[in-house]
Amino acid sequence: MADAAALLQRAIALREVQDLGGALEAIGAAARVAPNDPNTALGLAQISFEAGMDAADLYAHAADLSPQRIDLQRSRATALAAEGRQAEGEALLDAILAATPGWIDGHRCLCGMRATAGDTDFARSFITAVERDPGNFGLRMAWFHVLATARQWEEARDVIADAEAHLGERQASLLGKLFIASESGAGAEDPALFDGVEQVQDVGLDLARVRHFLRGGQVERARDVCLKHAGKPAMRAFWAYLSLAWRLLGDDRANWLDVGMRDVRSYDLHFSAAELADLAATLRRLHTMQQPWHEQSVRGGTQTERPLLLRIDPVIAGARTKIENAVRTYIDELPAADPAHPLLAAPRGAFLFAGSWSVRLRPGGFHSVHTHPLGWISSAFYVTVPEPDLLGPQPAGHLQFGAPPPELNLPLESYGLVVPKPGRLALFPSTMWHGTVPFTDGERMTIAFDVIPSTRF
């Protein structure tokens, strides 16, 4: 058993540095020594899943060994869907939710699976659950959040109204109503919309307040809410909004933060046409979903699940090596360290991928304007790009930086753009606003990822 424990620890250590090949070898050896050890079984399932291998049956074995851990069934269902066994995954979650209607993570997982499969009635599991457990206020609010993330405002309002009719108004439902009023436009013109909850300490509420204040011209208030989080981990979600406030106020610190396009770099990596074709074919096989997740920026396309650049696949591994070399160059060429700056303060040694995925856009597809608050450096690597006569008039299909989210209706222009080209990698600060312009026809497929220092900031 000691040998199995040592192998498990080795697998964990290798996984932490994102050596999935080595981790898989170590955890496989551990499983052969101790096939019924719960921790080893879970490690084998998780590392196999992250490496891009079939893992649903491995998660089933891990769940059998740890029947008290319902979260393993969620992982199993996710793996089933990833392996093309969507119906089995849904049936598994449905059965568990029938016995445990208050399992919120299970509902969220099932909603995501159904939404990305193109099911418009993706949130229906909540209906039965609330009927069975009508006094569960948290369950009702989870239902609301799923609908609000999908921007189904009327349905979200109905869920809150029903919750308050049965259980009375609570702080969570009040904040939900304010969020809907601001983001749906119903209360966007009310400068005092959030005044009654100024005493509430909540990061999500503060983000909603900042957006509302910017949208309504209360720029100083937006700035002050952002600065309240300075020096705290949550500040990474506020830097981009603070940039907008400073730009609107003519504050020189906006240039200190963004410096226009200075920290946006493009690298044309050395891929042959055959290598790009192989990479494109590999990625297309991974785009099995019908629709994007509601919480993502993709519009008119799909996004892959699992950490793409950790997959045990020679084609993807080859792309990862070239990408890592370019990231190393970008980091080494950054300006001098600045302990107050979100890009320049981070340590510049080893780095890790905080997430990696592929996006395949259909004709008319685009990315909405967004940032990556959990990242340090973000990216877009172009694998396929429509021919010029299919793109449409410039800047169709281009990656733009600095323009604010259009729903805020702010009089600010973009800083500049990156022209898409197969084999081109764009790297930029994760806190910078970016989005793409819709294109007319063809396929636009990218690899995207976030990088963080191996010593977290």
Q: By residue range, what is the domain housing residue 387? A: 265-453
Task: With respect to residue 175, please indicate whether it lies within any of the assigned structural domains.
Answer: no
Task: With respect to residue 170, please indicate whether it lies within any of the assigned structural domains.
Answer: no
Total domain count, the chain: 3
The pLDDT score that the predictor gives to residue 24 is 97
Residue from 236, 206, 237, 234 nearest 222 by CA: 206
The pLDDT score that the predictor gives to residue 456 is 57
Low-confidence ranges of the chain (pLDDT < 50): none
Q: Give the pLDDT confidence of 6-43 residue by residue, as tens digits.
A: 999 999 999 999 999 999 999 999 999 999 999 999 99
Domain boundary among 233, 258, 283: 258
What string of H, E and C letters represents the secondary structure of the chain?
A: CHHHHHHHHHHHHHHHCCCHHHHHHHHHHHHHHCCCCHHHHHHHHHHHHHCCCCCHHHHHHHHHHCCCCCHHHHHHHHHHHHCCCHHHHHHHHHHHHHHCCCCHHHHHHHHHHHHHCCCCCCCCHHHHHHHHCCCCHHHHHHHHHHHHHCCCHHHHHHHHHHHHHHHCCCHHHHHHHHHHHHHHCCCCCCCCCCHHHCCCCCHHHHHHHHHHHHHCCCHHHHHHHHHCCCCCHHHHHCHHHHHHHHHHHCCCHHHHHHCCCCCCEEEECCCCHHHHHHHHHHHHHHCCCCCCCCCCCEEEEEECCCCHHHCCCHHHHHHHHHHHHHHHHHHHCCCCCCCCCCCCCCCCCCEEEEEEEEEEEEEEEEECCECCCCCCEEEEEEEECCCHHHHCCCCCCCEEECCCCHHHCCCCCCCEEECCCCCEEEEEECCCCEEECCCCCCCEEEEEEEEEECCCC
Residues 308 and 338 in one domain: yes
The pLDDT score that the predictor gives to residue 2 is 57
d(CA 58, CA 79): 9
Rounded to two decimals, what is the model's pTM? 0.94
Residues 331 and 365 in one domain: yes
Domain boundary among 164, 179, 207: 164
Query: Are 133 and 142 within 8 A, CB to CB?
Result: no
Residues 308 and 395 in one domain: yes
CATH number of the domain where residue 370 is located: 2.60.120.620
Residues 437 and 398 in one domain: yes
Residues 222 and 359 in one domain: no
d(CA 382, CA 380): 6
